[in-house]
């Protein structure tokens, strides 16, 4: 198998090729490490796990040669966002104060993938401390992440490194984290798929173990799988959860809500791609129900930042203790923040500016949001709701502020962060699952993401819908980047 063929493999294809002997795990890892070096200008990776990845690959090849039964992900290289604990590499959070943090154990969710045979290729870059949607990181060892489809533009965030690495064919799949859209935004802008699993009220409702991750909010944070196809995301999800791999759901008769407020103020080129996708889905028998989520945005405004800014002040110090980090405090982290657009939020965390609003947010308004979502789906007999993952295409990199303002359709300047996170935030606040997959490319070649939010616990069904939509809409062509020699 040539190097060109290797980098084109999806996660599912790579696992099959290694299992049936068409591809050596060591050869594959070597090729992808070369690819990572070749595309280092994207700044998608903070660290590569060269020795560890190659050693793990050799063990997979030896196991296969011995006739042993291989685990479900044997030999699959993945990239892991650098706020997810790894025992053999630092976990920096993309921030100066945590540069030398070396956890002694892998995050449990990651460990499940490793136990299934996955190989950690390296730690992916991110928006500093996961507080942003651009992944324009001013930390010296991280740097600005570039979108493989247009290197002048952002890849989205905060899991921008994972999204860019997968899109650039550095790895077929990986892990990000999502608090308000941090898996789905970069997946959408980089033309890949991503899942935000159900979080609900934690406990039994939480689909993924959330420990071993540098946090923002215990109520909202979750790890999420990302891949070039929905099938790859479903594969990783099945391993993490121990469930069967999701199966395609019949599109004919499927009922999807179309909430107008999620579609307003959408950039024309995004709306054009989404309209085309809707037409094709309608032709396949999908029933669209044009009904809005009345009252949702008013509730979200009373919960979203009130929860995040208060809980970060508690959860980051708790993580430092649990991870065994000594000599670093929350104040130390805030004082050394390098990215201009992260200084403000961290100052608000230190000042606990939402303390007075927190109890009402968590005990009154968030339950009201959950009830609103449940009624929306049940009363209208909906399988999910559909909307553009982001209302704009990937913005141009802001090398001065990291994230400032953009104009939508020639209108007045608006905050980039608020614009990018608008559609993904309410579902995140509520704790329902969400998935994004490519709707298509704009006329200028930029990816547009299509999102589905579903009822609490409907993750497998969302993945099934995504699989069927992907079969209809197709996957995106790779970005035009320098290729490896054959």
What's the token pair of residue 99? Answer: 């540069």
**Catalytic: 158?**
yes
**Catalytic: 2?**
no
Per DSSP bridges, beta strands 119-124 and 77-81 are: parallel
Return the DSSP state at 475.
P
| Alpha-carbon span 71 to 224, nearest angstrom | 21
Contacts of 77 (CB under 8 A, 6+ apart): 14, 28, 29, 32, 53, 118, 119, 120, 121, 171, 172
Among candidate residues 24, 158, 458, 468, the one labeled active-site is 158
| Alpha-carbon span 158 to 184, nearest angstrom | 10
Among candidate residues 3, 81, 123, 461, the one labeled active-site is 81
| Alpha-carbon span 336 to 172, nearest angstrom | 34
Cis omega (within 30 of 0) for bond into 227 = no
Q: Concatenated DSSP letters for 19-75?
A: HTTSS-HHHHHHHHHHHHHHTGGG--EEEE-HHHHHHHHHHHHHHHHTTPPPPTTTT
Is-contact 153 399, C-beta < 8 A?
A: no
**Catalytic: 182?**
yes
| Alpha-carbon span 152 to 168, nearest angstrom | 15
Over its C-alpha atoms, the chain yields an Rg (Å, rounded) of 21
Contacts of 152 (CB under 8 A, 6+ apart): 146, 396, 397
> What phi-psi label fits residue 156: left (phi over 0), alpha (psi between -120 and 50 degrees) or beta?
left
Contacts of 310 (CB under 8 A, 6+ apart): 352, 354, 355, 357, 358
Among candidate residues 12, 44, 135, 182, the one labeled active-site is 182
Is-contact 158 106, C-beta < 8 A?
A: no
| Alpha-carbon span 233 to 373, nearest angstrom | 25
Q: Is 320 helix (H, G, I), strand (E, B) or coil?
A: helix
In angstroms, the Cα distances linking 347 to 307, 313, 342, 420, 439 are: 15, 10, 9, 22, 38
Angle at 125 between CA 164 and CA 214, to 5 degrees: 130
Phi, psi dihedral angles at 387 (to 5 degrees):
-165, 165
- Active site residues per annotation: 81, 158, 182
């Amino acid at each position: 198998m040539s190097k060109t063929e290797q980098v084109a493999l999806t996660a599912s294809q790579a696992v099959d090729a290694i299992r049936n002997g068409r591809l050596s795990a060591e050869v594959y890892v070597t090729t992808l490490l070369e690819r990572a070096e070749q595309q280092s200008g994207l700044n998608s990776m903070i660290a590569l796990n060269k020795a560890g990845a190659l050693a793990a690959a050799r063990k997979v090849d030896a196991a296969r040669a011995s006739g042993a039964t291989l685990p479900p992900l044997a030999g699959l290289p993945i990239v892991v966002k650098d706020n997810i604990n790894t025992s053999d590499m630092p976990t920096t959070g993309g921030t100066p104060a945590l540069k030398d943090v070396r956890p002694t154990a892998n995050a449990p969710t990651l460990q499940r993938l490793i136990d299934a045979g996955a190989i950690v290729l390296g730690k992916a870059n991110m928006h500093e401390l996961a507080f942003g949607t651009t992944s324009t990181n001013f930390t010296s060892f991280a740097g600005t992440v570039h979108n493989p489809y247009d290197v002048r533009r952002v890849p989205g965030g905060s899991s921008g490194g994972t999204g860019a690495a997968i899109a650039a064919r550095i790895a077929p799949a990986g892990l990000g984290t999502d608090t308000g859209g941090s898996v789905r935004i970069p997946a959408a802008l980089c033309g890949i798929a991503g899942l935000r699993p159900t979080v609900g009220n934690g406990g039994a409702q939480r689909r993924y173990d959330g420990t071993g991750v540098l946090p923002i909010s215990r109520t909202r944070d979750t790890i999420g799988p990302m891949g070039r196809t929905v099938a790859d995301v479903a594969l990783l999800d099945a391993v993490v959860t121990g469930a069967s791999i999701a199966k395609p759901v019949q599109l004919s008769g499927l009922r999807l809500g179309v909430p107008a407020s999620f579609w307003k103020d959408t950039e024309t080129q995004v709306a054009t791609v989404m309209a085309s996708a809707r037409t094709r889905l309608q032709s396949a028998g999908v029933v669209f129900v044009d009904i809005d989520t009345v009252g949702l945005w008013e509730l979200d405004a009373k919960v979203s930042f009130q929860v995040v800014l208060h809980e970060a002040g508690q959860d980051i110090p708790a993580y430092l203790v649990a991870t065994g980090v000594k000599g670093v405090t929350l104040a130390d982290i805030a004082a050394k923040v390098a990215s201009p657009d992260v200084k403000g939020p961290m100052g608000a965390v230190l000042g606990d500016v939402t303390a007075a609003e927190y109890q009402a947010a968590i005990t009154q308004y968030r339950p009201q949001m959950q009830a609103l979502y449940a009624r929306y789906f049940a009363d209208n007999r909906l399988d999910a709701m559909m909307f553009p993952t982001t209302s704009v295409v990937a913005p141009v990199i802001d090398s001065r502020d990291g994230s400032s303002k953009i104009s939508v359709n020639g209108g007045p300047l608006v905050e980039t962060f608020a614009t990018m996170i608008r559609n993904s935030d309410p579902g995140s606040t509520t704790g329902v699952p969400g998935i994004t997959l490519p709707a298509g490319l704009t006329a200028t070649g930029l990816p547009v993401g299509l999102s589905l939010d579903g009822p609490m616990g409907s993750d497998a069904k969302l993945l099934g819908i995504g699989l069927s939509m992907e079969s209809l809409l197709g996957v995106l062509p790779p970005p035009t980047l320098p290729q490896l020699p054959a």
